[in-house]
Amino acid sequence: MFAELLFGLITLLAFSFFGKQLLTIRKNIFIGKKVDIADEPASRWRNVFLLAFGQKKMFQNPLVAILHLLVYVGFIIINIELLEIIVDGITGSHRAFAPYLGTYYDVIINGFEILAALVLIACIVFFFRRNVIKLKRFISNDLDGWPRSDANYILITEIVLMCLFLTMNAADTDAHFLISSKLKPVFNNFSSAQLNSIEHSAWWIHILGIYAFMNYLPFSKHLHIILAFPNAYYAALTPKGQMHNMESVQKEVLYAMQPELAPANAPAPDQFGAKDVMDLSWKNLMDAYSCTECGRCSAACPANITGKLLSPRKIMMSTRDRLEEVGKNIAKNKSFAVDGKSLLHDYIPVEAVRACTTCNACVEACPVSISPLDIIMELRRSLIMEESNAPAEWNGMFSNIENNFAPWKFSPDDRDAWTQQA
């Protein structure tokens, strides 16, 4: 009875802490500005099934996509067994679902074991790619410190959990499943009591490992396991490269050209662009939490390739880091207490913001429809329109557009003069 009570308490604490962390993340996301994203639900659900479930963009590299799909789908499906483990743990039973499923039970567990073996192989391959082959996007300075360790911790945890699952089944003297039965010869010299002890130990370590993994997710890049789905749903449906205009600027231009349309005592715009995370939209902030840190965006970025400071992946990581800090600030002080920092300058340097060519390569490359470009554009707007901070070349172009309606320094009346030349 003590074991059942202990398991129930651990389960309650694990899910309570996990739920609390998810609520904190939700609260942090909604620090961002409100934006209404509710149009074309059919297209949005299509994105969920193609991008999140089907991982459509990953299949640009079929081998890696298949391995990733095995890890993702396999790990999720295998953890369906978590339901039986919880029932067993609370009631003190052993394989509680077996009597109700009959012969189907063996079929289901055999399927789980095949998936477990495939997940194990895929995780070993991914660990090898990161730490032996050392693909360029995995050894970037973006990942120095905790981010690089984070990826390895997850892979090692998944490998250990799959091994525990198979060991648990192999040590069960009454069970004979497809993959674990191949491991039974390893236990030939063990007594029934020893096998029972091994099975129970593997069972406990396995479930505690799953609970630990679950509660690690909110602090890890692997939070995308959860957020990939809402992020795909709320992904932009507008054509790539289409930028939204700032309504306040449009109105200022309109009123300058047609003063009679300007309302009396029209309030001045609060601000242009974004300097800190609370100036971004909640979708921008959900993007930051959804980032997998895979580096495909930076690998596709022409500015990054040519050695510029810009890394779209680092833009997302820095946004998330700042958001976490702001969230803790608000939680501690009940409202944001000015800390003398901002996303722009302190977390993302001006040089990185200026290096972006707005080509959308990062957006196109992202497997979960994140848009680093949206954040970069908002930061750039703040930099130029709030701080008047732009290179001399840009200022000259802006002046020409304002005065001559074109980037070139000559009168609009002379724009077609070249046609008159011999």
| pLDDT tens digits, 299-311 | 999 999 999 999 9
pLDDT at 75 over 80: no
Q: What residues form DSSP beta bridges with 33?
A: 281
79-83, 263-267, 382-386: range with highest mean pLDDT = 382-386
Asked whether residue 34 carries a pLDDT value surpassing 70, the answer given is yes
b (16+ CB within 10 A) / e for 60-86:
eeeebbebbbbbbebbeebbebeebbb
- Answer with the residue of higher pLDDT: 176 or 331: 331
pLDDT the model gives residue 422 = 54
Return the pLDDT at 54. Answer: 84
**203 pLDDT exceeds 90?**
yes
Query: What does the pLDDT average to over 38-52?
Result: 91
Between CA 194 and CA 191 the distance in angstroms is: 5
The set of long-range contacts for 48-57, using a CB threshold of 8 Å and a minimum separation of 24, is: 48/229, 48/232, 48/233, 50/232, 51/228, 51/232, 51/235, 51/367, 51/368, 51/369, 52/228, 52/229, 52/231, 52/232, 52/368, 53/229, 55/367, 57/365, 57/366, 57/367
Alpha carbon distance 339, 321 (integer Å): 15
Least confident of 59-68, 218-227, 303-312: 59-68
Write the CA distances from 169 to 109, 173, 184, 187, 391, integer angstroms: 9, 8, 9, 12, 65
Q: Is the pLDDT of residue 167 over 90?
A: yes
Which residues lie below 8 Å from residue 5, measured CB to CB, with a gap of 6+? none
Q: Where are the alpha helices (DSSP H) in 129-223?
A: 146-170, 192-216
Domain 247-256+271-401 is found in CATH 1.10.1060: yes
Share of the chain above pLDDT 90, in %: 60
Based on the number of CB atoms within 10 Å of its own CB, is 251 exposed (0-12), middle (13-18) or buried (19 or more)?
Answer: middle
pLDDT at 281: 95
Both structure tokens of 66: 């298949």
DSSP 314-329: HHHHHHHHHHHHHHHH
pLDDT score, position 67: 86
Using the predicted structure, report yes or no on whether residue 95 has a pLDDT greater than 80: yes
Q: Looking at beta carbons, which pairs linking 129-132 to residues 24 or more positions away fall under 8 Å?
A: 130/155
Q: Locate 62 and state its tokens.
A: 């079929």
Q: Which two tokens stand for residue 310?
A: 């810009």
Spatial separation of the C-alpha atoms in residues 273 and 380, rounded to whole Å: 7
For the chain, give the mean pLDDT: 90
Matching residue, tokens 């074309």: 40
Give the position of tokens 């000015």: 338
Min mean pLDDT across 52-56, 185-189, 221-225, 306-310 is at: 52-56
Q: Using an 8 Å Cβ cutoff, are 320 and 370 in contact?
A: no
Residue 63 in this model has a pLDDT that exceeds 90 = no
Q: Over 90: is that where the pLDDT of 64 sits?
A: no
Torsion angle, alpha carbons of 114, 120, 124, 126, to 10 = 80
How confident is the model at residue 327, as a pLDDT? 96
* Encoded amino acid at 34, one letter: K
Q: 92 — alpha (psi -120 to 50), left (phi > 0) or beta?
A: left
Is the model's pLDDT at 360 over the cut of 60? yes
129 pLDDT higher than 60: yes
Supply the pLDDT for residue 148: 87
Residue 244 to residue 225: CA distance in whole angstroms = 29
Mean pLDDT of 121-128: 92
Across 24-38, 78-92, 329-343, least confident range:
78-92
DSSP assignment of 171-198 = T-TT---TTGGGGGGGGTTS-HHHHHHH
Decide: pTM greater than 0.75: yes
Distance CA 383, CA 377 (A): 10
Question: How many whole angstroms from its chain centre is CA 368?
Answer: 7
**Per-residue pLDDT tens for 265-285?**
777 777 889 999 999 999 999
Looking at residue 20, its pLDDT comes to 96
